[in-house]
Structure 1
């Protein structure tokens, strides 16, 4: 930083090397604090702060503070979660200062993490813009319309799974899908005297399949961001577990629904939704063009933001041409989101809009993502301050010290994810915190971080609704009218994804290893070197390092050495 360089120049006008010789992130003191005085050009050098040794108590203190603040404030008193995270970050800052780190060290660490996360945060804003445009242009309503028209009431549980998944995939929201079409399915189940817990489980499974697999979902974008994996690469990779879990759920609900009841009941709730959609919007095949363009761009692996912006423009054109949306309203949707009264071409009366239609369609815009962005900023600040003291790395390496196989790595990730979501009750935090710490652990072991992203989604995103005390669990129970613990056995997709993740880890299927070049590049991104590569099993190098770590290369097993302490890895200020 500029002020540091000026200070060093003032202390060493003759070009004498400063007392501190920085060799990177893990800089050490190579000169005496009195070396500047020996030149006779400076009479005073700032006394370096002494670094203290990190221990388990100090490493755990900020984590315990986070648990206390979120558990007591967010869960107990319904306080906003953002101040709770900032309070925990303040505790982490006190611990880092006690260990000998300066405020500049902490801010540098936070800034570094924020800079790396910024491209993905921009994608979140772009998603908000895209949703508003597609709502106004009729793309999302058209997809929902045809998804519901294909319902066959003879297979209620299976159709509840598929129908809710379609709506959630199109909208990127599990809560909105369950609160609209999910409620309609529950009404059908009541009218036909079908097992309500089974149908509720089908709705929850479908809602979270779409939420997890949709590029419009905030959790999907956050996971791609924190693991530093391209968005569409992350989505495709999740098919290994989520796709298998969806197939299993389809089999279970198809068989159970067929055996439990001869479906011949009232589907007026679903028909009411499709009828209202066709009344509000002017539907035609042009509605599909924006979605097709985005899908083609994703298949060609084109940059995400330009592809989504192109889809946004096409959605706006549909809004102007077919839905009669005024120019001002169309651009307003990009910021504030879509409102039903913006539609004028069909000549319908906005005052007749049902509450369920407003819940389903009135969304989108950049503003809709600001709450998620605020949580991301706060969580990244906490992780950045924890990063400068290596507290989270210290704890994770203690947990992973006995991990010798990929199965152990994946199972440990699942355990950490479940524990975090059970304690914090917040999906975004439970993705960002473990993801930021576990990502280097995967890189050091030669396993691609996209495996981490998939496993985090399996253990966090879809499991939040399985805990009665989380907001997701309480919301689904209240919305669907079935207690959480009653629908949990039927929420097949939500818990079977973890089972498939463990099967893949045990067999090696779908477990991607980093190539030599990829590992070197990612080690540099994590400020690590080949010295940090972890050896598997009986001491052989990790898969990516196996071919290149020769007898002359300094390699070390973190399991045998333990994690680096703050005293040995960070510079003295």
Structure 2
């Protein structure tokens, strides 16, 4: 019965992928299917509803954070924060170091904004445009972008995936970030060396385009525009609460929008709700987005996915699968079991959020130490989902950057992170 129920859900996911329909349809259908399973097990609809709500209640804090992130990303665009960061850093890019700097710039913006998709749609688009001008293969650029955007998506204090992992594992996000930085050090260094080595072999055609002119028509580029980013970085360093850091950045960005960028105060509600929209075609292609409405889809995915966890836990539908995962962990190592599980959930879930939640549900018993388990999740489900070509986590960033699907082959950091983890844990075990 359990296998059949899960199988039907997987089939619906596959149908949505093939037909190009929103994955939300499959998730809503899944909620009905798992509800019917609960009913078959003898639970009343009222009890099943309570199970689902308990799952959603578990992630209530992250849903509030999504709202703040939507507001923050809109304000950073309108305040000129993202354009200023791009213009001040783009001069560091040279044809002989292009892939390396593409990776590093996407790392920087994704750490600041906490969103892989938003980073790909901003600095990722800029890097892809430059690559086209320089004659750099688009699949290489796409791989470097994919590596960079998920470096920050994994370990930014305002990352939705990092916040979700912290919430699910009941751990502190800043402690998790410290552990993530440690496990990322070796793969990050190797990735930089590889991208630099390949970049040196490439021959650029021209010098870098002048982005200051493109942004200068829309924004007043000044160091003042960097204040919202500086505030959130400073508060992150002193380990202030994530919500406090974001609210402080939002409060800082509003006067910058009004005073520096001459935005009318009456336009603020529209900006916060629907995000930034430019009438300039060039600027719009790179910066349009943000706002509370931009977070509605991911919020809906988290809500529905989290409702599953409540039903799964109460009905025990995943107990058989959990036993198999625990057996694998006993025969190998907890991280290996989590990694294998995350590959399967990422292939099935088609989005990062559901992959994280399913992996957590299946593997929570493999590692009693919550901090270690949180790091295992971050080094598996969070970075495996972007390697699945039909996953939203992979398709959306590459589409935004205009890169082909096989760019995943050059997303070096995403391969090296779990590989280095496995090697390190093997060495540790031998010692």
Structure 1 length-normalised TM: 0.68
**Alpha-carbon distance change, 243 to 147 in structure 1, aligned in 2, over 3 angstroms:** farther
> Can you give the 5+ residue segments of structure 2 that lack an aligned partner in the other structure?
none
Contact 1:186 1:200 in 2 (8 A): yes
- Where does residue 468 of structure 1 map in the other structure? 389
- Asked if residue 225 in structure 1 is aligned to residue 167 in structure 2, the reply is yes
Larger Rg: 1
Give the corresponding residue for 1:68: 11
Q: How do residues 35-50 of structure 1 correspond to structure 2 at under 5 angstroms?
A: none
Summarize deviations over 1:365-420 as a string: whole Å, max 9, x none: 22211111111111122221122111223321232124237x62111111111111
Q: Contact 1:458–1:498 (CA<8 Å) still a contact in 2?
A: yes
| Secondary structure of 1:401 counterpart | helix
**1:20 match:** none
Query: What SS does the aligned partner of 1:324 have?
Result: coil
Distance in structure 1 (CA, Å) of the matches to 2:217 and 2:158: 26
* CA distance in 2: counterparts of 1:218 and 1:310, whole angstroms: 18
Q: Does 1:323 align with 2:243?
A: no
Moved over 6 A (4+): none
- Matches of 1:303 and 1:182, distance apart in 2: 29
Residue 322 of structure 2 aligns with which residue? 396
- 1:431 lines up with 2:356 in the alignment: yes
Q: Partners of 1:456 and 1:206 in 2: how far apart? A: 19
Structure 1: gaps spanning 5 or more residues: 1-57, 341-350, 510-573
> Quick one: structure 1 residues 385 and 284, their matched pair in 2 at CA, closer, same or farther if it must change by over 3 Å?
same
The alignment status of 1:375 with 2:311, answered yes or no, reads no
How far apart are the structure 2 equivalents of 1:112 and 1:88?
17
* Alpha carbons 1:379, 1:432 under 8 Å: kept: yes
Distance in 2, matches of 1:286 and 1:187, equals 27
Cα distance change of structure 1 residues 359 and 457 upon mapping to structure 2, 3 Å threshold: farther
Pair 113,243 (structure 1): closer, same or farther in 2 beyond 3 Å: same
In structure 1, distance between residues paired with 2:287 and 2:129 = 20
Aligned 8 A contact 1:464 1:472 in 2: yes
Q: Spell out the pairing of 1:479-558 with structure 2 (5 A cutoff).
A: 483-485=404-406, 487-507=407-427
The offset of 1:483, in angstroms, is: 4.1
Deviation at 1:191, TM superposition (A): 4.9
Change in 2 beyond 3 A, CA 1:213/1:141? farther
Deviations 1:438-467 (A, max 9, x none): 33x15xx4222x433333343333333433
**Any idea what SS the aligned residue of 1:318 has?**
helix
* Number of residue pairs aligned between Structure 1 and Structure 2: 429
Shift of 1:107: 2.7
In 2 relative to 1, CA 372–68 (structure 1 residues): closer, same or farther, beyond 3 Å?
same
Report the equivalent of 2:239: 301
Q: Return the alpha-carbon distance in structure 2 between the equivalents of residues 188 and 313 of structure 1.
A: 34
> Which structure dedicates a bigger proportion of its chain to helix?
2
- Deviation, 1:316, is 0.5
1:327 CA displacement: 1.0
Return the alpha-carbon distance in structure 2 between the equivalents of residues 428 and 81 of structure 1. 12
2:148 to 176, 185, 206: 206
CA distance in 1, matches of 2:117, 2:298: 15
Q: Give the superposition deviation at 1:286.
A: 2.6
Following superposition, the deviation at residue 189 of structure 1 comes to 4.2
The offset of 1:471, in angstroms, is 4.2
RMSD: 2.7
Return the offset for 1:475. 4.7
Pairwise CA distance, 1:429: 1.2
Displacement of 1:194 in angstroms is: 4.3
| Residue of structure 1 equivalent to 2:379 | 458
Q: In the alignment, does 2:173 pair up with 1:252?
A: no
Compared with structure 1, are the counterparts of its residues 382 and 306 closer, same or farther at alpha carbon in structure 2 (3 Å cutoff)? same
With the length of structure 2 as denominator, give the TM-score of the two structures: 0.89
Distance in 2 (alpha carbons) for counterparts of 1:93 and 1:257:
53
Distance in structure 1 (CA, Å) of the matches to 2:223 and 2:126: 26
CA 1:288 to 1:480, structure 2 compared with 1: closer, same or farther past 3 Å? closer
User: Match for residue 266 of structure 1?
Assistant: 207
